[in-house]
Amino acid sequence: MLVSVNWASPPSGNISTMVRDPRRVDVVPIRHPRGCRSYVIVDPESREACVVDPLLDHLRDTMDALSERGADLKWIVETHSHGDHLSGAAALTARCGGTVVMHQKADSAVATLRAMDGHELALGEHTLRVHHASGITEDAIVLEAPGAMFTGDTLLIGTVGLRDAPGSDPLAWYESLHRIFDERGEETILHPGHDDMGRDLTTLRAERTGNRWLREDDREAFLSLFRSDERTPRKDAARILEANRSGLQKVPRDLAPASGFAAPTETVQKNPGRPPAAKRTESQASGTPGMAGLLIATGVLCALGTILGWLVMPALHGLSLLAALILLGTGLPALEGRRRRKGMEPELYYLGPSKHTLDPE
């Protein structure tokens, strides 16, 4: 089977190619429109299933994916304690059964199986292997299926996840990345826990080329990269962690914005040279307060005056018409640019420091 892969790459752009799909299980991505990713893994023979990082507000999509494939839910795997979105593990196991798996260091009242490094989960004739990936959190894991790895926030496409829960350790993170991925084949498909560009898979070959966190072999350089990453967690991360620790059956009203994504304006790269994107007014976006409207209004008045006075003194009013055209030609593009900027909603979150990253509040 062939699969089209859009993977991370150097700044020149994305690379698209065709590679042979090494996966021997069916993988159904559950895509939250603002970045979070969950996955339904189904063994094609036994129809046994595993759900990775279920999203509370996409529970119906997850259950539909199971039902459409006639799958029997056996495992629910959380790759770490989430501080940026609400977990659907408690609600999913209440509705569909299944054992909730987390690392033994996870602080969770929902987990029913505490896995250690190397723990194996049977899925039909196949095996899912748990790799302890301490770094982003103490309880982080990477789940390996035949031909694929579900990396959670430990490794994303072109970057790594946000430190949204206590216990991040850059040295442990560095060692986990190399211990888990260095010996894997380049054709291995990676499924990340987040992506802000609509993707849900990459290859290990692509990340070794385009992901600076994975390709960094020097410990000190990795630590420096870690210290320079200025992304900050949500202000309500502690509340989200507690909600996930206890387990939720539905999205509470006060945490609704946390159901599947982190608010971009609270998790951004600092850049004091520009006014805050989330608070810019329409006049700021156009450069000068009301400039576009002023230019257009002046141009219209000049044009009307020119037409009315043309019979009196054609030569003088020809100059006025020229001025009107210049004003209109300047004001209309400025108004269109402002309209486009107004319609753009900030959605980038996990891409890390880049020219696209928004300013802080």
What totals of helices (H) and strands (E) does the chain contain, helices first? 10, 14
Claim to verify: residue 83 and residue 217 sit in the same structural domain:
yes
Claim to verify: residue 328 and residue 344 sit in the same structural domain:
yes
Average pLDDT for 127-140: 96
Average pLDDT for 337-346: 42
Listed residues 221, 245, 262: the one ending a domain: 262
Claim to verify: residue 258 and residue 275 sit in the same structural domain:
no
Q: What is the predicted pLDDT for the residue at 67?
A: 97
The DSSP H or E segment spanning 338 is: helix 314-343
Q: What is the pTM of this model?
A: 0.70
Listed residues 237, 262, 287: the one ending a domain: 262
Average pLDDT for 145-158: 96
Angstrom distance (rounded) from CA 116 to CA 194 = 24
Dump pLDDT digits (tens) for 238-276: 999 999 999 999 888 777 665 654 433 333 333 333 333
Q: What is the three-class DSSP state of 51?
A: strand
Amino acid type, 326: I
* Cβ atoms of 113 and 101 closer than 8 Å: yes
Give how many domains the chain has, as a whole number.
2
Percent of the chain exceeding pLDDT 90 equals 55
Residues 301-310: contacts with CB under 8 Å, at least 24 apart: 302/327, 303/328
pLDDT band at 160 (very low <50, low <70, confident <90, very high): very high
pLDDT higher than threshold 50 for residue 306: yes
Dump pLDDT digits (tens) for 193-222: 999 899 999 999 999 999 999 999 999 999
Q: Domain limits at 193?
A: 2-262
Q: What is the predicted pLDDT for the residue at 144?
A: 98
Listed residues 232, 262, 292: the one ending a domain: 262
Q: Alpha carbon 159 to chain centroid distance? A: 10
Claim to verify: residue 213 and residue 353 sit in the same structural domain:
no
